[in-house]
Amino acid sequence: MSRMLSRETCAGLFDRVQRAAKARGVTDVEAWIASGEESLTRFANNTIHQNVSESSCHLSVRAAEGGRTARATTNRLDDEAIGAVVEGAIELTRASEPDPELLPLAEPAAYGEIDRFSPSTAEATPDERAVAVAEAVRIAEEKGQTAAGIFSTEYSVQAILNSRGVFGWHAETLAVFSITALAEDSSGWAKASAADHRSLDPAALARRAVDKALASRNPREVPPGRYTVILEPAAALDLAGQMFGDFGATALADQRSFLTGRLGTRLFGENIHITDDVFHPLQAGPPFDGEGVPRRRLRLVEAGVPREVASSRASARRAGGEPTGHGFPLPNEYGEAPLNIVIAGGDASLDSLIASTSKGILVTRLWYIREVDPYEKIMTGMTRDGTFLIEDGRVVGGLRNFRFNQGLVELLGNVEALGPAERASGEETFDMVVPAMKVHGFHFTELTRF
């Protein structure tokens, strides 16, 4: 952690930014500072094949003058570079036309306390990761399988400061372990992430992936159509997670959100409750937004009714409300979005969801999910790495993978039961707190060859 930027270092950097701006006749400036170190050990074919570490720092300066604003970024922190980045921001700012709706810089505010920093994770070594990977590989080899995956550890610092006194500083750590176990005609997958790498259990994840690959051997083919599905948390995350970019005031104002004309009306089932909560213990990220506004908890969906959306200072002002602390750094095209999603779970275990299903399909993971229709929120994608047939309350074997075309509005209206919410990690969206979902009428439209 030799280069971790402390609060004091960030304050000193901003002081230099302010002085450089003042020397150029500009008093309103904001700085976003991000630094950190990320190390990732990658394995495939039962061996470590890529093993990397990155240390970096970015200083992004926004100038504001006469209703105009623009941003310049550098990763060099010497006086010459700071002068250049401030000069760049000012030049761009002065090149633009005034925007009568541009607000002055944000005012200082207090932020809630969040502790997501694990010193041991920040200092995790390549040897520690390699030992865990070697054990995961051993577990796969024991069953004649081939393992591929990652074990990453990182720390990051984010800070925002402006010339009106805003000063937010946040440090956190993140560890991710993911594994795919490959058998002759099947595969299994498991992934988890946490602030503290000691709370991950790579061996348990490896066993889970290996067991899935074993259970899905000799996959059979069932025809596409509508099925009851049980989406494990990662699958529910990667599908339902596609809609949250639409929960923003700017998306609504632009009429590019599927919530256009639907806020306050029942859209999903009564068992769907979704919040945005940066303070949730399983969440990640700083308690402030891209302008330094404190994030507050949002009731995105209550009993199937979309209630609140995220707003920035600008979109809140246009709508006559208060900002929620979800704005992106200015200037930007998209306004804001909730980034700390918590979908409330139920009390049904995965086993009980399976046991209650006379005929259905258990889905481990979804892949390559893209939007087909923006208003019904029809998404297409594939199942992957563990798709199983359920008959009479039991998993009876693996299935060939499907393509789905499924509207999210319909999906969240067809949820029959929910598992406990957990921190889920996939590959199609950012981590969220999500339960397993049992959904009827899920629309598989085609099959692939494996």
Partner 1 sequence: MVSGVSYADVRVVETRDRLLSTRNGRIGSLESSETMGVGIRVLAGGCWGFAATDDLSTQGIRHAAALAVSIARASSRAAKHKVVLAPEQKYEATWISPCAIDPFSIPVERQLALLAEVDREIRQNPAVTLSETSMTFARIRQVFASSLGSLIDQTRTTAGAGCAAYSFQGDEIQKRSYPNSFGGQYQLKGYELVEELKLVEHAPRIAEEAVGLHSAGQCPEGEWTLILDSSQLGLQIHESIGHPIELDRVLGSEANYAGMSFLTLDQLNRLRYGSPIVEAVCDARLEHGPGLGTFAFDDEGVPAQCTPIVREGLFVGYMTSRETAAAAGATRSNGTMRAAGWNRLPLIRMTNVSVLPGESTLEQLFDVDRAVYMETNKSWSIDDKRHQFQFGCEIAWEIRNGKRVRMLKNPTYSGITTEFWNSCDAIADRDHWVLWGVPNCGKGQPEQVMGTGHGASPARFRNIRIGSGYRGKGAE
Q: How many CB atoms sit inside 10 A of residue 184's CB?
A: 11
Helices (H) and strands (E) in the chain, counts: 10, 19
Q: How many CB atoms sit inside 10 A of residue 299's CB?
A: 14
Nearer to partner 1, 193 or 275 (CB): 193
Nearer to partner 1, 239 or 342 (CB): 239
β-pairing, 274-276 vs 28-44, is unpaired
- CB of 422: closest distance to partner 1 in angstroms? 21
| Two tokens, residue 56 | 């970096």
255 lies in the binding site for partner 1 (CB under 8 A): yes
Q: Which of residues 323-342 bind partner 1 (CB under 8 A)?
A: 331-333
| Two tokens, residue 14 | 């901003």
Q: What does the alpha-carbon distance between residue 361 and residue 355 come to, in Å, rounded to a whole number?
A: 12
201 lies in the binding site for partner 1 (CB under 8 A): no
β-pairing, 341-343 vs 305-306, is unpaired
Q: Which of residues 299-318 bind partner 1 (CB under 8 A)?
A: none
- CB of 88: closest distance to partner 1 in angstroms? 5
Nearer to partner 1, 111 or 247 (CB): 247
Closest CA to 28 of 44, 13, 17, 36: 17
Using the contact rule CB under 8 A, the part of the chain among 75-83, 194-202, 211-219, 235-243 near partner 1 is 75-83
- CB of 393: closest distance to partner 1 in angstroms? 28
| Two tokens, residue 113 | 């306390």
130 lies in the binding site for partner 1 (CB under 8 A): yes
**Amino acid occupying residue 221:** E
Q: How many CB atoms sit inside 10 A of residue 292's CB?
A: 28
Among 118, 146, 173, 324, which residue sits at the site for partner 1 (rule: CB under 8 A)? 146
- CB of 447: closest distance to partner 1 in angstroms? 7
Among 19, 24, 34, 88, which residue sits at the site for partner 1 (rule: CB under 8 A)? 88
Among 116, 208, 212, 384, which residue sits at the site for partner 1 (rule: CB under 8 A)? 384
133 lies in the binding site for partner 1 (CB under 8 A): yes
Among 17, 369, 390, 434, which residue sits at the site for partner 1 (rule: CB under 8 A)? 369
Q: What angle do CA 180, 186, 189 make, to 5 degrees?
A: 25
395 lies in the binding site for partner 1 (CB under 8 A): no
Q: Which of residues 396-425 bind partner 1 (CB under 8 A)?
A: 401, 403, 405-407, 410
Report phi then psi at 26, rounded to 5.
Answer: -120, 130
336: region left, alpha or beta (phi > 0 left; psi from -120 to 50 alpha): beta
Nearer to partner 1, 275 or 425 (CB): 425
Using the contact rule CB under 8 A, the part of the chain among 82-90, 104-112, 346-354, 417-425 near partner 1 is 82-90
Among 155, 169, 189, 388, which residue sits at the site for partner 1 (rule: CB under 8 A)? 189
Q: What is the 3-state secondary structure (H, E, C) of 55-66?
A: EEEEEEEEEEEC
Using the contact rule CB under 8 A, the part of the chain among 52-60, 275-283, 290-298, 302-310 near partner 1 is 52-60
Among 220, 359, 370, 394, which residue sits at the site for partner 1 (rule: CB under 8 A)? 370
Computed on alpha carbons and rounded to an integer, the radius of gyration of the chain in Å comes to 24
Closest CA to 376 of 403, 419, 405, 347: 405
